[in-house]
Amino acid sequence: MTSTTPRILLIHALFESLSPIWKAFEAQWPEARLVNLLDDSLSADLARDGGLTDAMIERFLLLGRYGTGAAGNVPKAQALLFTCSAFGTAIDRVKAALPIPVLKPNEAAFEAAVESGSTIGLLVTFAAALPPLEAELQAMAQTRGKAMHVVGRVVDGALAALKSGDAERHNALIAEAATAMPALDALVLGQFSMAQAAPSVTRRLPGRRVITTPDSAVKKLKGLLAA
């Protein structure tokens, strides 16, 4: 590790998001220096409030400023990646406020999905994440001049299983939900915590393209900083 190794700030709203993104960096970009900020009250507060509030957006701006050294004597990060999928509007505000690359958790995965075809499946395990992610995917397709049909589903019980330590049931529920979906050009597992279910989905649906958010995000970040 050298002083020129990029420092990447990761901001998490779920403890379960940490391991998937660490594994993605280890596989694709082990040289990156990772700094982790976890506020696991964010998801609970979003579910309680029923949507993003001004106070929630200010919390995101505060977290983002920490990564640029604006909150005191903190080493500056070269890029910032959020791993929490339900907060797109707040992350857009952080993007506009900071001078470094800021990446939404689903941004790179959705870019890959839009290039895959016109019928895209989107699975989530946190119900509040589905409406904003569907809107984000549709908006991205529209800006690229593509018509998009998004088939979105919430996998009930999967997140609770993961939080209780039953990763096998979590993965099985996601694979079962994937098999119940219609024919798709690609399937996006919409949360970082879901990436571990990709092999289970692929075994049930050989040949279907399964896009995970951590792997897509690391690939994009590495390309951004290399450029």
- Domain 107-212, CATH number (from 3.30.70.1520, 1.25.40.10, 3.10.20.10, 3.40.50.1860): 3.40.50.1860
Give the H or E element holding residue 199.
helix 198-204
CA 156 from chain centre, in angstroms, equals 19
CA angle, residues 72, 93, 82, in degrees to nearest 5: 70
pLDDT of residue 41: 92
**Cα gap 44→123, rounded to integer Å:** 20
pLDDT in tens, 176-220: 999 999 999 999 999 999 999 999 999 999 999 999 999 999 999
Q: What is the pLDDT of residues 25-59, one digit of tens each?
A: 999 999 999 999 999 899 889 888 888 899 999 99
Question: Which of the four pLDDT bands, split at 50, 70 and 90, describes residue 69?
Answer: confident
pLDDT for 2: 45
Domain extent listing, the chain: 7-105+215-226, 107-212
**Burial annotation 161-197 (CB, 10 A radius, 16+ → b, else e):** bbeeeeeeebbbbbbebbeebeebbbbbbbbbbbbbb
**How many CB atoms within 10 Å of residue 55?**
9
Residues 120-137: what's their mean pLDDT?
94
Q: pLDDT tens digits, residue range 157-169? A: 999 999 999 999 9
pLDDT for residue 96: 94
The reply to whether domains 7-105+215-226 and 107-212 share a CATH topology is: yes
Specify the pLDDT at position 1.
44
C-alpha distances out from residue 178 to 126, 172, 198, 211, Å:
16, 10, 10, 12
For Cα atoms 9, 13, 18, give the angle at the middle one, nearest 5 degrees: 60
Model confidence at 227: pLDDT above 80? no
Strands annotated E in 59-217: 79-82, 102-103, 119-124, 149-154, 186-189, 210-212
7-105+215-226: CATH topology: Rossmann fold (3.40.50)
pLDDT tier, 67 (very low <50, low <70, confident <90, very high otherwise): confident
**At a CB cut-off of 8 Å and minimum separation 6, what does 116 contact?**
185, 186, 209, 211
- Please say whether the beta carbons of 86 and 129 come within 8 A: yes
- Per-residue pLDDT averaged across 79-99, rounded? 90
> Looking at residue 70, what is its pLDDT?
60
